[in-house]
Structure 1
Amino acid sequence: MPGKPVPEEVRREQILRAAFEVAAREGIGGLTVRAVAAEAEVSHALVLFHFKRKEGLIHELLDWLIANTSVLHVSEDIARFPRALDRLHALLQQEMARLSHEPRHTRLFFEYWALGARHAQVRARIGTELERYRAAFRSIMEELLLAEPTTFAGATADGLAAVAVSWIQGCAVQAMNDPAHFDTGEYLAAVRGIIGQLARAGEAA
């Protein structure tokens, strides 16, 4: 007897996950409908039914990748911290751990970034999402500036958000380069040490 039919949204997610596995292994250049169908163990026609053509699959995979890498989620545990500085510290720790956990996502994201040099639509999509991710930090930075104006004298919410995102993205890149030896705790401790040294240098100046 035939099995129960698989809902279209479940099948679509299955195909996108298979597309990620192919692209992570072979690069975007190796992302063919036939390769994805084989990885997902579905027919070539079913992949085309959901994504129409290879180009559609490439763009949909970028959306899937962004949803799994560049969307900021503030957990309930983090939101309960009363101090903005404590929430920021926990959020940095969460994002550094999350993005360093799967270096293949970072590697593929950079490959899409390179593809954007030749494709305006890809470039615009990535640029929009990177800005959205940075903007998600602005509200906590604005609260931080109000709570501790002396500590962050001269800083702006935009500047602090940009620095925070730079730390997180740098963490992801280091984890991609050396996943066997990268340690999020050591990275965060180094960040705290650098901040402390810069603060003391600023006070002495």
Structure 2
Amino acid sequence: MKAEPTNRKGEILLAAFDALTAEGLPMLSYDAIASRGALSRQLIRYHYPDPEDLMIDLCDHLAGLYREALISEVMKREGAARLRCFFDFYFDMIEGNLKPRDDQVYDALMSLSAGHPRIRTNLRSQYSLLGQVLSHELELEYPELSTQSAQELSYLFVCLMYGHWKMVASLGLSPEHRHVTRRAIDQLIESHRARPAKTGPKIWSNAPKS
């Protein structure tokens, strides 16, 4: 429950809170895109009369970059090395194949998802697919894990991975802190191998909420 404002500044802050909760950040302007790409505003509006469509395609573009870069690395490895590569890639620890530099873009898309169900659905689908793939890889590599543990570990990875880069991109913490978060993944895996979870929510099969 929100506290009642006692002055005009308080009213403004409550209104700003409500606006951001409902709408996220403003859409990227066509003028800004035109300036950065040496394009005409009319050309951009012709291909994307609805700015939300542009953001959806941007989500898909980013997903494609990740998919191509990750597959190129994972296919070079076998067994446990595949899973290590999976984690190392998302924490930008593979020499010569850098994680896409998109952290600020994903932060903006996440904010926009507050007020745009289509963007929210797209991002949720991307992260859910990532979680499902990782859950499968975990079960293959560690047969002693329960399906529940594999799902929980994949969920924790997605949370840690996104949260780590958000701290780096939005708050300016050192990217070198990735080593701390990467070690946490290994520790979580070992804890679940020792004590596999028996019951819990079916994380990636939940019905989507708009």
Deviations 1:133-173 (A, max 9, x none): 222323312312xxx333x3574443332233223222222
Question: RMSD between aligned alpha carbons?
Answer: 3.3
- Are 2:139 and 2:150, in contact at CA under 8 Å, matched by a contact in 1? yes
Query: How far off is 1:189 after superposition?
Result: 2.7
Query: How far off is 1:93 after superposition?
Result: 0.9
Alignment match, 1:106: 106
Alignment match, 1:132: 129
Equivalent residue of 1:29, what SS? coil
Q: Which of 59, 65, 80 lines up with 1:65 in the alignment?
A: 59
Alignment match, 1:75: 71
Deviations 1:53-85 (A, max 9, x none): 2xx2332233213431585443344333332x3
- Are 2:30 and 2:45, in contact at CA under 8 Å, matched by a contact in 1? yes
Alignment match, 2:88: 93
Query: What is the letter of the counterpart of residue 86 of structure 2?
Result: L
Identify unmatched segments of 5+ residues in structure 2.
1-23, 93-97, 197-210
Query: What is the letter of the counterpart of residue 164 of structure 1?
Result: F
- Are 2:112 and 2:119, in contact at CA under 8 Å, matched by a contact in 1? yes
Q: Distance in 1 between matches of 2:51 and 2:173?
A: 31
Same amino acid, percent of matched pairs: 13
Query: What is the letter of the counterpart of residue 167 of structure 2?
Result: Q
Query: How far off is 1:192 after superposition?
Result: 3.0
- Are 1:103 and 1:179, in contact at CA under 8 Å, matched by a contact in 2? no
Q: How many residues align?
A: 165
Alignment match, 2:45: 48
Equivalent residue of 1:35, what SS? helix
TM-score computed with the length of structure 2 as normaliser: 0.61
TM-score computed with the length of structure 1 as normaliser: 0.62
Q: Distance in 2 between matches of 1:190 and 1:45?
A: 48
Within a 5 Å distance, the mapping from 1:163-174 to structure 2 comes to 163-174=156-167
- Are 1:96 and 1:168, in contact at CA under 8 Å, matched by a contact in 2? yes
Query: How far off is 1:201 after superposition?
Result: 7.9
Specify whether residues 89 and 28 from structure 1 end up closer, same or farther in structure 2 by C-alpha distance, changes over 3 A only. same
- Are 1:106 and 1:176, in contact at CA under 8 Å, matched by a contact in 2? no
Equivalent residue of 1:115, what SS? coil
Q: Distance in 2 between matches of 1:115 and 1:99?
A: 28
Query: What is the letter of the counterpart of residue 63 of structure 1?
Result: D
Q: Which of 126, 138, 141 lines up with 2:138 in the alignment?
A: 141
Identify unmatched segments of 5+ residues in structure 1.
1-26
